Amino acid sequence: MVNASIFTARGRVNGYPDRHAEGVRRALAERHEVEPERIVLGNGAAELMQAAALALMGAGDELLTPWPSYPLYPLMAARAGATPVPVASAEHVGAAITDRTRLVMLCNPNDPTGSHLRAEQVASIAADLPERVHLIVDEALVHFQDAEELDAVLRLTDALPRFLVVRTFSKIYGLSGLRAGYAVGSTASATVLDAISPVLGVNALTQAAIDQALKIGGPEVERRRIAVLRERARLQKALGGLAVHAIPSQANFVWMRAHSITGDDLASRLRRQGVIVAPGGPLGADDHVRITVRDAPATDRLLSALYNALA
C-alpha cells in the first residue's frame, strides 16, 4: 500500500510539494495529541538534529551526550564548529555542564547499548539545565521499548520550553530509503522548530508514503514490535547462561561483551559461521559487539554460533 501511494504520487513530481507538509503534520498531531504547529517534518531525523546543532551552536560551544551513543552526534557538533563532550552516563550530564554547553543529546533507547531513560529521568535532567542549554531526545528506537507508554517522554514537550523529541520512519516502519523524520516541541520552541524546518520541505513521494503509513501501518508496526520483544527476551535469557555480559536492552539489539575476547575477535568468530554482528570499537567500546534482534531462526543461528565461538 505504501508503494502504491508512492506510485500514485508520481504524477505530482513536476510540481513543488507542500513545503509545510500540512497533511502529514495534521496526522502526526492527531496521533500525539499536540498542535500541528509543534511538529516539523524533515528529510530524516538525523537532518533535523544536524539542523538543530547548526542553529543552536557555534565555535567554542559544547554538545554533551552520554557515551557510547549514536556515532553521528560528535560529527553534528563538529559541523557546527562545536566540541562534542562525552559523559559516562545520563546521570553525569548535570555535573558536566559548563559555560560553553549549548546542547544535550540523549538517544533513548540508546544506540548501541539499548539502555532506556524513563520520562521522569528525562524530566529531571531537563530541570537541571541552564536556560541557555537545549535538550534533544532522539527516539528513533522508541517503538521497541516496553518500559512505559510510547509517548511518555514526548508528553514532556507540553511543558518544557527548550526541549525537542525527534523520531524517524527509518526503523520500525522500515522506510529508511525515503529519509523522513519529525521533531516535536512546545509552543515556546517555535523559533527552533522554524530554524530546523527544511526550506523547501520534504518531497511529494515521501509525504505520500508517510501519510499512507500513518493511516494503515499500525497493525504491521505492532506485529514487528511484538516480534522484537519476544526474540529479545528469549535472546537475553539465553545469554544469561553464557560467559558473556549483556545489559538489559529496550532496543532492537543487545550490547554484549564476552570475557577475555575483544569485540573484533568475537565478531570474526561469528562471521566465520555466517552470523554478522557489529564490532563495538566504531560504536564506542572495543570489547563489545552489538547484536541485532531478528526473527526466531536468526536467534537460533546466533545462539548456536555463540556457543561455538565461546567454546
Peptide bond preceding 68: is omega within 30 degrees of 0, i.e. cis?
A: yes
| Nine cell digits for residue 44 | 530524516
Residue 15 has pLDDT above 90, yes or no: no
Q: Which CATH number fits domain 220-310: 3.30.9.10, 3.90.1150.10, 3.10.20.30, 3.40.50.980?
A: 3.90.1150.10
pLDDT of residue 236: 97
pLDDT classification of 13: cutoffs 50, 70, 90: low
- pLDDT for residue 172: 95
pLDDT digits (tens, 9 = 90+) for 93-112: 999 999 999 999 999 999 99
Contact (CB, 8 A) for 216 and 5: no
Whole-number Å distance between alpha carbons of 288 and 63: 25
Give me the chain's average pLDDT, please.
94
Q: What is the pLDDT of residue 106?
A: 98
* Top-confidence residue, 107 or 213: 107
- If we measure between CA atoms, which residue out of 200, 196, 198, 170 comes closest to residue 184? 196
The domain limits of the chain are 2-216, 220-310
Cell of 108: 533513548
Instruction: Note the pLDDT tens digit of each residue in 256-265.
Output: 999 889 999 9
Of 222, 219, 248, 224, the residue nearest 235 (C-alpha): 248
Strands 253-258 and 278-279: unpaired
In the chain, the amino acid numbered 113 is: T
Distances, alpha carbon 114 to alpha carbons 50, 98, 248, in Å: 22, 28, 7
Give the pLDDT of residue 210. Answer: 92
CA 213 to chain centre: 19
Contact between 62 and 85 under an 8 Å Cβ cutoff? The reply is yes
Q: Rounded to the nearest 5 degrees, what angle is found at the Cα of 66, between the Cα atoms of 63 and 67?
A: 110
Give per-residue pLDDT as tens, 161-195: 999 999 999 999 998 988 999 999 999 999 999 99
CA-CA-CA-CA dihedral for 96, 98, 104, 108, to nearest 10: 10
User: In 108-212, where do the E strands start and end?
Assistant: 134-138, 163-168, 181-185
Query: Torsion angle, CA of 272/276/280/283, rounded to 10 degrees?
Result: 150
Helices (H), the chain: 2-9, 22-32, 45-56, 72-79, 93-96, 119-127, 190-196, 204-216, 218-239, 263-271, 296-310
- More confident: 6 or 124: 124
Q: How many residues does the chain have?
A: 311
Round to whole Å and give the CA distance between 167 and 173.
11
pLDDT at 141: 98
* 226-252 residue pLDDT tens: 999 999 999 999 999 999 999 999 999
Classify domain 2-216 by CATH number: 3.40.640.10
Average pLDDT over residues 32-50: 97
pTM for this prediction: 0.94
Give residue-wise pLDDT tens across range 63-88: 999 999 999 999 999 999 999 999 99
**pLDDT surpasses 60 at 152:** yes
pLDDT at 9 over 70: no
Share of the chain above pLDDT 90, in %: 87
- Does the pLDDT of residue 17 top 80, yes or no? no
Per-residue pLDDT at 8? 57
**Once rounded to an integer, what is the mean pLDDT over residues 124-130?**
96
